[in-house]
A and B are shown apart, each in its own frame.
Chain A
Amino acid sequence: MSILDDASAARRVRDPLDRMLQYLERHWRVYALIAPAIFFILAVVAYPIFETLRLSLYAAPRNSTVEVYVGLQNFRDIFADPFFYQLLWQTARWVVLAVVMKTVLGMLIAVHLNHDITGRKFFRTAFLIPWGIPYAISAVIFRWIEQPQYGYLNAILLKAGLIDQQIGILGDPSIAWLGAVVADIWIGTPFMAIIFLAGLQSIPQELYEAAAVDGAYRWQQFRYVTLPQMKSVILIATLLSTIWTFVGFDVIWTMTRGGPLDSTSTLVIWIYKTGFENGNLGLAAAFSAIGFVILLLFAVLYLKIYTRGDGESL
């Protein structure tokens, strides 16, 4: 190997380092400016995630200063418990029904608001109200409505002769989750409607005109113009709604606390109950880790769709 070769090899090694140093020299201000944000994210996002994953490997009762390392025992206990699968099923049916209904109702509202109807401005504002009310307050209102003794629902049904005695929806383990999911749908629909409305307004009018010239009726226009054009918007909105509904806590906790007989418990409710009410922080952290993985799948899907096409956002 010649001296020349040695020098070029050294230059090759040095070059990337030099390039990095030069790059940092040119751009250090940028990194200095984003440093606080990075530290903030590390503190409020990365650290809690790390701490939860660490805690999931420990038996950590809240009323003790002692944490005992148990490895994957918490996870083994969870997977061996049939209630975990019941919990997954209850979470899945909650999320699916809520998201489907929010999507369908949101689309219906958006399509109607997109037309030049009388009082459109009023309806646009009115439909936003449920989203503007704190979730817990909406949940309390729905609990009142469904309350058997003095709730509106029972009063109306009794007056209309549809029932002959009071029914306690939230007290019946077979239907309590439906009573709670109604509140969640009511709260979450306006967001979907607004997103869909924005999407509808971005569809070029010429497409509808062309479809009309080709003899397409309203439904056909919706089926062959609106839906294909809205595909990405619908995907993003439903994915976001799925994530938010999955982690939704306020509505169920306020209305039923996961009862009766745990019939309205979802994974998130159970995490809270296990960790903060029953004091088993280690076990709750293990449940959280499982929930984290499930959510991560949705998040990856969301990112994939959002950045589809060589990293360009939609």
Chain B
Amino acid sequence: MMTDEDLPESLSSTGFSRRDMMRASVGAGGMMLLAGCTGGGGGGDGGDAQTLQFLTMGVGNNIQAFFEENNAAFEEETGYSLDFTSITWDNAQSTLVTRVRGNEAPDVSRMPSRWLPQFKNLEAIDPLDDFMQGEFLDKFYPRVAETTIVDGSYYGIPWAYSNKALYYNKDLFEEAGLDPENPGIDTWDDMLAAAQQVTENTDTPAYGLPAADRLTTVSQYLPYHWSHGADIVDDSGAPVVNSAAGVEALEFYSSMVTEHGVTQSSPLSSTRHDVRKLFEQGDVGMHIGHVYVGLNIQNDETGTNYGIVQMPEGPGGRFCLATTDSMVMYSTAENKDAVRELLRFYYDTERRFQYSRDKGFMPVVKEVGDRSYFSDDPLWAPFVEASQYARSRPKLENLNEVTNRMVRAIQETVSGQNTAADALDAAQADLEEMIEA
């Protein structure tokens, strides 16, 4: 059947859906009607064909052919037909929630893993523990697979993935008297020492630190927090942001602005996007970024001579923020065997390689990451290696609210209005109310 990649969500989520037609037709025993209504393509090729609603987001030109070819292959291989829809990211969350509430959920869809608790709470998605075990589970990087766990169960299968590493400007490091090929940054203290050397010996700010009113401000801070041994919530889900380790992490983070002055000016008005642009243009010495930073520098030909090292290690270990999207199965799916078959089909190693390569996303499957296309590439290889340090945001239903509160604590400390201990104590008190509620 035709794959309607760019079909607006409004057309597929409102009115009389194909599934409704099917229900009505089957209920009335009108198989002729079914054949007539479902139109051409796979959906109409036989009375016993079953249609799966497969929804994803943001299918662009670079990946359209991948879905067209593979959806057709799946239909031919299994006899099921696919009602494939791509919606824009802008309203994806509200669209999915609306569809779930309106009993119009698709059978299978992609979604950011941070939405999993919300959809689990809505009882909209099924656990996939029976799927995520044994040989199938072993395909994935363990830390990446963990990002889909909610309350001890896998509620999704990792589909797309991004992680981070520390970029540095080689030319600037050389100017500052540091070894550009081996900058010797292994710990946060090493990073700070390098930043101080860059600040002392060049006119360029050493480190891009965003602290604007954006959720991504916390994304950039989390590796510090985790690697000092701190967390946002403990294993029981209770907030623990003001632990001694948390205070130490935020003190270190803010000291780069308030004490050492190694960052760009005005961090409180700088978003992650701003500091990324500064690094790409060669206007800041170091930046925690994902693989796209390197790709942007290549594509835009900014000429920035960059190197990449792993995220620095702290007293509590080494972590990089992993953001994953998952494939989920909806509890209202009528034919769950067919959904499982679709998932098995798309998690074939060759297809995963094809997807990661064409889309430019980090591989979620180890065997794909080990292929020379990724493991021998100077840009991709550090990020493949970083998969072992991947860690996702806490699985909280009100993650945005919690994150916004952490943004405030970071801003208070970075602006020097509050100490790390007081800012985190106040945040802890608020989080206790938020998370309890």
Listed in ascending order, the chain A residues whose CB lies under 8 Å from chain B are: 61-65, 146-150, 165-173, 176, 256-262, 273, 277-280
Contacts and interface: CB of A to CB of B under 8 A. Distances in A.
B411 A261 contact: yes
A277 B403 CA distance: 10
A171 B265 CA distance: 9
Nearest to B121: A63
A280 B213 contact: no
B122 A173 contact: no
B237 to A, nearest CB: 15
A277 B399 CA distance: 10
A100 B365 CA distance: 61
* Interface-central residue, B266, B400, B411, by most chain A CB under 10 Å: B266
Nearest to B402: A278
For the residues of B in contact with A, the DSSP-based class is helix
B401 interface: yes
8 contacts: A63-B121, A165-B265, A166-B265, A171-B212, A256-B212, A257-B212, A260-B269, A277-B401
A147 B274 contact: yes
B212 A65 contact: no
B415 A260 contact: yes
A64 B123 CA distance: 10
Given A173-B415, A261-B411, A277 B264 contact: no
Listed from nearest, the 7 A-B pairs whose CB atoms lie closest are A168-B266, A259-B213, A171-B269, A171-B266, A171-B268, A278-B401, A170-B269
Nearest to B283: A149
B411 A259 contact: yes
Contact of B122 (A65, A168, A171, A279): A65
Contact of B404 (A147, A168, A277): A277
A60 to B, nearest CB: 12
Given A260-B211, A277-B404, A62 B268 contact: no
Contacts of B411: 259-261
A280 B401 CA distance: 9
Contact of B214 (A168, A257, A262): A257
B397 A261 contact: no
A168 B265 contact: yes
Given A63-B121, A65-B101, A273 B266 contact: no
Given A150-B283, A165-B265, 20 more contacts: A62-B97, A148-B264, A148-B266, A167-B266, A168-B265, A168-B268, A170-B268, A171-B211, A171-B212, A172-B266, A173-B417, A256-B269, A257-B214, A258-B213, A259-B212, A259-B268, A261-B411, A261-B415, A262-B408, A277-B400
Contacts of A262: 213, 408
A61 B212 contact: no
B122 A64 contact: yes
Interface of B: 97, 101, 117-118, 121-122, 211-214, 264-270, 274, 278, 283, 397-398, 400-401, 404, 407-408, 411-412, 415, 417
B269, B274, B417: which has the most chain A beta carbons within 10 Å?
B269
A142 to B, nearest CB: 12
Given A260-B411, A278-B398, A169 B269 contact: yes
Contact of B265 (A146, A148, A176, A279): A148
A278 B412 contact: no
A147 B274 CA distance: 9
Contact of A279 (B213, B283, B400, B415): B400
Which of B97, B211, B270, B417: most chain A CB closer than 10 A? B270
A284 to B, nearest CB: 12
A278 B400 contact: yes
A278 B118 CA distance: 13
Nearest to B212: A259
Nearest to B397: A63
Q: Residue among A146, A172, A278 with the most chain B CB within 10 A?
A: A278
A166 B205 CA distance: 12
A260 B213 contact: yes
Contacts of B417: 173, 261
A278 B269 contact: no
Contacts of B408: 261-262
Contacts of A148: 264-266, 269
A288 to B, nearest CB: 18
Contacts of A149: 264-265, 274, 278, 283
Given A64-B122, A273-B404, A279-B400, A176 B214 contact: no
A257 B265 CA distance: 19
A77 to B, nearest CB: 11
Contacts of B407: 259
A258 B397 CA distance: 23
A167 B266 CA distance: 7
Contacts of A146: 269
A61 B266 CA distance: 35
A176 B398 CA distance: 28
Contact of A256 (B118, B213, B401): B213
Contacts of B274: 147, 149
A257 B271 CA distance: 11
A173 B268 contact: yes
Contacts of A176: 269
A171 B213 CA distance: 10
A173 B213 CA distance: 11
B266 to A, nearest CB: 2
B263 to A, nearest CB: 11
A65 B408 CA distance: 29
B19 to A, nearest CB: 21
Contacts of B404: 273, 277-278
